[in-house]
Amino acid sequence: MLRNIISRRKPKLRRLQRRCIQSESTVFAVPPPTPTPNFPGEPLKPSIKGSIPGAKSQELMKRLDQYQETRTQHFFVDYEKSMGSYIVDVDGNVMLDLFCQIASLPIGYNNPALIEAYDSKEWKTALINRPAIGVAPPSNWPDLLENSFMSVAPKGLNQVWTAMCGSCANEIAYKAAFMHHQYKKRGSADFSPEELSSCLNNSEPGSPDISILSFRGGFHGRLFGSLSTTRSKSIHKLDIPAFDWPVADFPKSKYPLHEHEAENRAEEDRCLDNVRNILQNNSNVAAMIIEPIQAEGGDNHANPYFFKNLQQIAKEFDVTFIVDEVQTGVGATGKFWAHEHWNLESPPDIVTFAKKMQAAGFYHNIEFRPQQGYRNFNTWMGDPIRALQLQTTLQVIKDLDLVENVKITGKYLHDGLNQLQDSHNVLSNIRILGTFGAFDLPTPQVRDTLQTKLRNNGVQMAPCGDRSLRLRPMLTFTPDHALQFLQILDTTLHEL
């Protein structure tokens, strides 16, 4: 039934695009078939009426600037008119969205399955009555956990802690790792009077000198603990006190990975030795955290070899191994969890999530549940309406075979970008896993110019790292959408 809801749509898009395979100077392959049907009511293509941001967006920015920061905003959105993979601004400009609310939208704007679910009594009750889950959970909360979060739990992990955002998911995961670390030292003994009193003065032994190891280029959030492990951009960290925690090198890979195996293996071994040296000289490291792809830091990739050996080092030094899947999770890499590409012999100790999950938190096993209540705790501890949204989203992903669509679309997108790299010398370092990808431009200025021109030609993208543009489409992004993007990118590159 759900597939029938999604596939009710005019068939013009596929026919139109297949008559337009050739763009400015590049002939792209015919888009391959995909099991995912067309999105109902979606625009046929981008439509730009004027420069972006337009007059209405600029007026709204002027009003909003009286009360809130506006310098980061691209434009104001008409969310009622946005549909599928297309975002519509208040000036009527229709753009193909490859940024998707900072990589957080999985199944398209105004997905009919979510609209239908919204009409249910269960959804309305959850919207009107927000509970403090830690003390008064709703009667359907166990069912919701089983049908949403736990139905896609990483293999080998059977516990979930629900949070509010990616930053707090990581922050609370750190607390769980710290408490587990200290429990292993203390055993079943009660807290000492000295521990109980000293922690209120932020001093030892109650506030121990222990740390989280992170990696250069990583991004894990903007709260105090998560910001201390963020190592991507200075602007995120300036003026904020930080914990004096260790940082290791992340591999500076050459792309494509498979064409530079020897150089990349040497670089990965160097970084693994760096981690080992840090742990040998820092006995206070309780955990390490790493992203499968360093997203905000520039879409930095490494081979499964690196991650598998990193986990082994963590086990050797009895350090909690945390995988930050806030941006890479939920199918974008062609597997539901990006760390599945590593083929680990045992699961990570903790996997954090947010964004496309429509909710946030972390998976773990029972040993990371604190021995006492109220230690990892807050008022909301998640939100049932987001669990309901995730439940419907996961059903759409399953019914429409969206992870398979990502694999098919990702290969077509990768091949097309490689063609453009061959014909435009400003493009370099194409790297994509599924549809989660990026490419480099010669300088930050050229990157920023291309981003602006793409937006005014009908494609919404965003930067990462020093000189990269990232691709973060929805799971409903098909090869037909990819062809549209490739054609617009080809045209726009000729305008540079």
The pLDDT tens digits of the residues spanning 469-483 come to 999 999 999 999 999
Note the pLDDT of residue 188. 86
Residues recorded for the chain = 496
Rg (CA), the chain: 23
Instruction: Give the position of tokens 């519509």.
Output: 88
Instruction: Give the position of tokens 């990975």.
Output: 257
Mean pLDDT of 110-139: 96
Mean pLDDT of 51-76: 96
Q: What is the longest distance spanned by two Cα atoms in the chain?
A: 77
Comparing 10-24, 66-80, 447-461, 473-487, the range with the smallest average pLDDT is 10-24
3-state secondary structure of 1: coil
More confident residue, 3 or 378: 378
CB 328 within 8 Å of CB 338: yes
Query: Which of the 8 DSSP states describes residue 210?
Result: -
Model pLDDT for residues 311-346, shown as the tens digit of each residue: 999 999 999 999 999 999 999 999 999 999 999 999
d(CA 266, CA 262): 6
Through-space distance between the first and last CA atoms of the chain, rounded to whole angstroms: 47
Mean pLDDT of 286-294: 98
d(CA 188, CA 215): 33
CB 468 within 8 Å of CB 450: no
How many CA atoms lie less than 13 Å away from 209 in the CB half-sphere? 6
Please identify which of the residues 379, 398, 422, 443 carries the catalytic annotation: 379
Please name the helix (run of DSSP H) or strand (run of DSSP E) that holds residue 96, with its range, or none.
Answer: strand 94-97
Residues 261-265: contacts with CB under 8 Å, at least 24 apart: 264/302, 264/303, 265/303, 265/305
Please identify which of the residues 28, 149, 178, 219 carries the catalytic annotation: 219
- Burial of 378-417, coded b for 16+ CB within 10 Å and e otherwise, reads eeebbbbbbbbbbbbbbbbbeebbbbebbbbbbbbbbebb
Please identify which of the residues 97, 324, 383, 480 carries the catalytic annotation: 324
d(CA 107, CA 300): 25
- Burial of 228-262, coded b for 16+ CB within 10 Å and e otherwise, reads bbbbbbeeeeeeeeeeebbbbbbbebebeeeeeee
Mean pLDDT of 393-406: 98
Report which of 427, 418, 494, 489 is spatially closest to residue 459, judged by C-alpha positions: 489
Per-residue pLDDT band at 14 (split at 50, 70, 90): very low
Note the pLDDT of residue 416. 97
Comparing 17-26, 110-119, 417-426, the range with the smallest average pLDDT is 17-26
Concatenating the DSSP letter of every residue in 228-247 gives HH--S-GGGTTT-------E
Note the pLDDT of residue 26. 83
Cis peptide before 53 (omega within 30 of 0): yes
398 is written with which tokens?
């399953």
Model pLDDT for residues 362-389, shown as the tens digit of each residue: 999 999 999 999 999 999 999 999 999 9
Active site residue 324: yes
Please identify which of the residues 97, 149, 352, 355 carries the catalytic annotation: 355
Active site residue 121: no
CB 327 within 8 Å of CB 295: yes
180 is written with which tokens?
């587990």
Per-residue pLDDT band at 164 (split at 50, 70, 90): very high
Note the pLDDT of residue 411. 98
Active site residue 355: yes
Note the pLDDT of residue 5. 52
* pTM listed for this prediction: 0.94
Note the pLDDT of residue 292. 98
What is the pairing mode between strands 360-364 and 428-433?
A: unpaired
Residue 127 pLDDT more than 60? yes
If DSSP states are collapsed to H, E and C, what string results for 162-198?
Answer: EECCHHHHHHHHHHHHHHHHHHHHHCCCCCCHHHHHH
Mean pLDDT of 224-237: 95
Model pLDDT for residues 88-117, shown as the tens digit of each residue: 999 999 999 999 999 999 999 999 999 999
3-state secondary structure of 84: strand
Note the pLDDT of residue 7. 45
